[in-house]
Amino acid sequence: MNYLELINKCLVELNYKQVNAFSELTKNDHKKLKNIINIVNTDVCGSEKWNFLIRKKEITLPAKTGEIQNTIDGRIEAIISDGAKFEYYHDFERFFVNSQPQNTYSLFNDKILFPIFNTDKTLEIIYYTKNCASDAEGQEKFSLENEDDCSLIPEPYVEPIIVYGSCMKLKGNPEHVRFSYWYSMYKEALMNLRSRISASADDVPSVRMFRR
Protein backbone atom coordinates (compact mmCIF):
# COMPACT_ATOMS: atom_id res chain seq x y z
CA MET A 1 0.00 0.00 0.00
CA ASN A 2 1.61 3.25 -1.13
CA TYR A 3 1.60 6.71 0.44
CA LEU A 4 -1.37 8.02 -1.55
CA GLU A 5 -3.43 4.92 -0.78
CA LEU A 6 -2.68 5.30 2.93
CA ILE A 7 -3.69 8.95 2.80
CA ASN A 8 -6.99 8.09 1.11
CA LYS A 9 -7.69 5.36 3.68
CA CYS A 10 -7.19 7.96 6.39
CA LEU A 11 -9.45 10.44 4.62
CA VAL A 12 -12.24 7.86 4.43
CA GLU A 13 -11.83 7.04 8.13
CA LEU A 14 -11.99 10.75 8.96
CA ASN A 15 -15.09 11.24 6.76
CA TYR A 16 -13.13 13.52 4.43
CA LYS A 17 -13.28 13.47 0.65
CA GLN A 18 -10.72 11.24 -1.05
CA VAL A 19 -8.38 12.61 -3.70
CA ASN A 20 -7.61 11.27 -7.16
CA ALA A 21 -4.06 12.60 -7.34
CA PHE A 22 -1.27 13.56 -4.98
CA SER A 23 -1.35 17.11 -6.35
CA GLU A 24 -4.85 17.57 -4.84
CA LEU A 25 -3.49 17.38 -1.28
CA THR A 26 -3.36 21.14 -0.80
CA LYS A 27 -5.54 21.81 2.27
CA ASN A 28 -4.08 22.36 5.73
CA ASP A 29 -5.59 19.09 7.00
CA HIS A 30 -4.00 17.28 4.06
CA LYS A 31 -0.59 18.70 4.98
CA LYS A 32 -1.07 17.81 8.64
CA LEU A 33 -2.15 14.29 7.73
CA LYS A 34 0.88 13.74 5.47
CA ASN A 35 3.17 14.83 8.28
CA ILE A 36 1.41 12.73 10.91
CA ILE A 37 1.56 9.62 8.72
CA ASN A 38 5.32 10.03 8.61
CA ILE A 39 5.47 10.55 12.38
CA VAL A 40 3.54 7.32 13.00
CA ASN A 41 5.63 5.43 10.46
CA THR A 42 9.00 6.56 11.84
CA ASP A 43 7.90 6.16 15.47
CA VAL A 44 6.82 2.56 14.90
CA CYS A 45 9.90 1.67 12.86
CA GLY A 46 12.17 3.18 15.50
CA SER A 47 10.39 1.67 18.50
CA GLU A 48 11.75 -1.88 18.24
CA LYS A 49 14.47 -4.02 16.71
CA TRP A 50 12.17 -5.22 13.95
CA ASN A 51 13.53 -8.05 11.83
CA PHE A 52 12.18 -6.39 8.65
CA LEU A 53 14.70 -3.59 9.25
CA ILE A 54 17.76 -5.87 9.56
CA ARG A 55 20.40 -5.24 6.92
CA LYS A 56 23.90 -6.62 6.26
CA LYS A 57 26.91 -4.90 4.77
CA GLU A 58 30.48 -6.06 4.10
CA ILE A 59 33.33 -3.60 4.58
CA THR A 60 37.08 -4.08 4.34
CA LEU A 61 39.23 -2.86 7.22
CA PRO A 62 42.65 -2.07 5.71
CA ALA A 63 45.71 -3.47 7.45
CA LYS A 64 47.41 -1.27 10.07
CA THR A 65 44.68 1.38 10.06
CA GLY A 66 42.32 0.49 12.93
CA GLU A 67 39.42 2.58 11.63
CA ILE A 68 36.92 2.88 8.82
CA GLN A 69 34.42 5.51 7.76
CA ASN A 70 31.05 4.83 9.35
CA THR A 71 28.75 4.38 6.35
CA ILE A 72 26.18 2.35 8.29
CA ASP A 73 22.81 4.03 7.94
CA GLY A 74 21.33 2.80 11.20
CA ARG A 75 22.02 1.04 14.52
CA ILE A 76 24.80 -1.54 14.53
CA GLU A 77 23.72 -4.88 15.98
CA ALA A 78 26.81 -7.01 15.35
CA ILE A 79 30.19 -6.95 13.64
CA ILE A 80 31.73 -10.28 12.64
CA SER A 81 35.11 -11.11 11.11
CA ASP A 82 36.85 -14.48 10.69
CA GLY A 83 34.05 -16.15 12.63
CA ALA A 84 34.55 -13.91 15.68
CA LYS A 85 32.07 -11.33 16.91
CA PHE A 86 33.34 -7.89 17.89
CA GLU A 87 31.76 -6.45 21.04
CA TYR A 88 31.08 -2.74 21.47
CA TYR A 89 33.50 -1.04 23.89
CA HIS A 90 32.57 2.42 25.17
CA ASP A 91 36.06 3.81 25.92
CA PHE A 92 37.01 4.94 22.41
CA GLU A 93 40.19 6.67 23.61
CA ARG A 94 41.86 3.31 24.23
CA PHE A 95 41.64 2.55 20.51
CA PHE A 96 43.88 5.54 19.78
CA VAL A 97 46.75 3.79 21.59
CA ASN A 98 45.68 0.26 20.56
CA SER A 99 45.09 -0.79 24.18
CA GLN A 100 41.48 -1.85 23.88
CA PRO A 101 40.25 -5.37 24.73
CA GLN A 102 40.54 -8.00 21.99
CA ASN A 103 37.72 -8.32 19.45
CA THR A 104 36.06 -5.01 20.32
CA TYR A 105 35.01 -1.94 18.38
CA SER A 106 33.97 1.60 19.28
CA LEU A 107 32.50 4.68 17.65
CA PHE A 108 34.05 8.13 17.41
CA ASN A 109 32.53 10.94 15.33
CA ASP A 110 32.05 9.42 11.86
CA LYS A 111 34.50 6.53 12.39
CA ILE A 112 34.23 2.92 13.55
CA LEU A 113 37.33 2.04 15.55
CA PHE A 114 38.97 -1.39 15.69
CA PRO A 115 42.20 -2.96 16.92
CA ILE A 116 45.06 -2.60 14.46
CA PHE A 117 45.63 -5.75 12.39
CA ASN A 118 48.58 -6.70 10.20
CA THR A 119 46.33 -7.87 7.36
CA ASP A 120 43.13 -6.64 5.73
CA LYS A 121 39.97 -7.78 7.49
CA THR A 122 36.58 -8.37 5.89
CA LEU A 123 33.91 -7.13 8.29
CA GLU A 124 30.31 -8.29 8.13
CA ILE A 125 28.19 -5.59 9.76
CA ILE A 126 24.62 -6.44 10.74
CA TYR A 127 22.47 -3.44 11.54
CA TYR A 128 18.96 -2.06 11.80
CA THR A 129 18.39 0.52 9.10
CA LYS A 130 17.06 3.91 10.14
CA ASN A 131 15.15 4.13 6.87
CA CYS A 132 11.39 3.74 7.15
CA ALA A 133 10.23 3.90 3.53
CA SER A 134 11.14 2.99 -0.03
CA ASP A 135 10.42 4.50 -3.43
CA ALA A 136 8.82 2.83 -6.46
CA GLU A 137 12.19 1.32 -7.46
CA GLY A 138 12.73 -0.17 -4.01
CA GLN A 139 15.38 2.36 -2.98
CA GLU A 140 15.13 2.93 0.75
CA LYS A 141 14.67 6.38 2.23
CA PHE A 142 13.90 7.85 5.62
CA SER A 143 10.39 9.20 5.05
CA LEU A 144 7.39 8.99 2.76
CA GLU A 145 7.50 11.83 0.23
CA ASN A 146 5.99 10.80 -3.10
CA GLU A 147 2.64 9.19 -3.83
CA ASP A 148 4.12 5.81 -4.78
CA ASP A 149 6.49 5.59 -1.81
CA CYS A 150 5.80 2.70 0.57
CA SER A 151 6.39 2.15 4.26
CA LEU A 152 8.85 -0.57 5.25
CA ILE A 153 6.24 -1.87 7.72
CA PRO A 154 5.07 -5.10 6.05
CA GLU A 155 1.60 -6.01 4.92
CA PRO A 156 -0.94 -6.61 6.34
CA TYR A 157 0.11 -4.53 9.35
CA VAL A 158 0.98 -1.26 7.66
CA GLU A 159 -2.60 -0.22 6.85
CA PRO A 160 -4.18 -0.50 10.33
CA ILE A 161 -1.09 0.82 12.10
CA ILE A 162 -0.70 3.87 9.87
CA VAL A 163 -4.38 4.62 9.29
CA TYR A 164 -5.69 4.26 12.84
CA GLY A 165 -2.55 5.70 14.41
CA SER A 166 -2.65 8.74 12.12
CA CYS A 167 -6.37 9.41 12.64
CA MET A 168 -5.85 9.19 16.38
CA LYS A 169 -2.95 11.66 16.28
CA LEU A 170 -4.65 14.05 13.88
CA LYS A 171 -7.68 14.46 16.11
CA GLY A 172 -5.62 14.12 19.30
CA ASN A 173 -8.66 14.26 21.58
CA PRO A 174 -9.54 11.20 23.74
CA GLU A 175 -13.09 12.58 23.93
CA HIS A 176 -13.52 12.31 20.17
CA VAL A 177 -16.31 9.86 19.33
CA ARG A 178 -13.97 7.51 17.41
CA PHE A 179 -10.78 7.98 19.39
CA SER A 180 -11.20 4.83 21.51
CA TYR A 181 -11.93 2.77 18.41
CA TRP A 182 -8.86 4.11 16.59
CA TYR A 183 -6.69 3.52 19.63
CA SER A 184 -7.87 -0.08 20.11
CA MET A 185 -7.41 -0.93 16.43
CA TYR A 186 -3.96 0.68 16.35
CA LYS A 187 -2.93 -1.12 19.52
CA GLU A 188 -4.16 -4.49 18.22
CA ALA A 189 -2.35 -4.08 14.89
CA LEU A 190 0.88 -3.04 16.61
CA MET A 191 0.69 -6.00 19.00
CA ASN A 192 0.14 -8.35 16.06
CA LEU A 193 3.17 -6.90 14.32
CA ARG A 194 5.18 -7.14 17.51
CA SER A 195 4.24 -10.75 18.21
CA ARG A 196 4.56 -12.12 14.67
CA ILE A 197 7.48 -10.15 13.26
CA SER A 198 9.73 -9.72 16.29
CA ALA A 199 13.46 -10.36 16.10
CA SER A 200 13.20 -13.11 18.70
CA ALA A 201 10.52 -15.64 19.58
CA ASP A 202 11.34 -14.99 23.23
CA ASP A 203 10.33 -11.31 23.04
CA VAL A 204 7.19 -10.42 24.95
CA PRO A 205 4.65 -8.44 22.89
CA SER A 206 4.29 -4.85 24.03
CA VAL A 207 2.82 -1.59 22.82
CA ARG A 208 4.59 1.74 22.89
CA MET A 209 2.71 4.95 22.25
CA PHE A 210 4.49 8.14 21.18
CA ARG A 211 3.03 11.62 21.46
CA ARG A 212 4.49 14.80 20.01
Residue 202 has pLDDT above 60, yes or no: no
Task: Write the secondary structure of 114-166 as one string of H (helix), E (strand) and C (coil).
Answer: CCCCCCCEEEEEEEEECCCEECCCCCEECCCCCCCCEECCCCCCHHHHHHHHH
Spacing of C-alpha 209 from chain mean position: 15
User: With 80 as the cut, is the pLDDT of residue 104 above it?
Assistant: yes
Q: What is the pLDDT of residues 9-62, one digit of tens each?
A: 999 999 999 999 999 999 999 999 999 999 999 999 999 999 999 999 999 999
pTM of the model as a whole: 0.85
pLDDT at 212 over 80: no
DSSP structural state of residue 174: T
Q: Are 206 and 190 in contact (CB under 8 A)?
A: no
Give the C-alpha separation, 156 to 33, whole Å. 21
Does residue 212 or residue 14 have the better pLDDT?
A: 14
Whether the CB-CB separation of 121 and 81 falls below 8 Å is answered with yes
pLDDT value at position 199? 52
Residue 119 has pLDDT above 60, yes or no: yes
For 59-73, how does the pLDDT look when each residue is reduced to its tens digit (9 = 90+)?
A: 999 999 999 999 999
Of 28-37, 86-95, 169-178, the least confident: 169-178
pLDDT higher than threshold 90 for residue 113: yes
In tens, the pLDDT along 93-102 reads 999 999 999 9
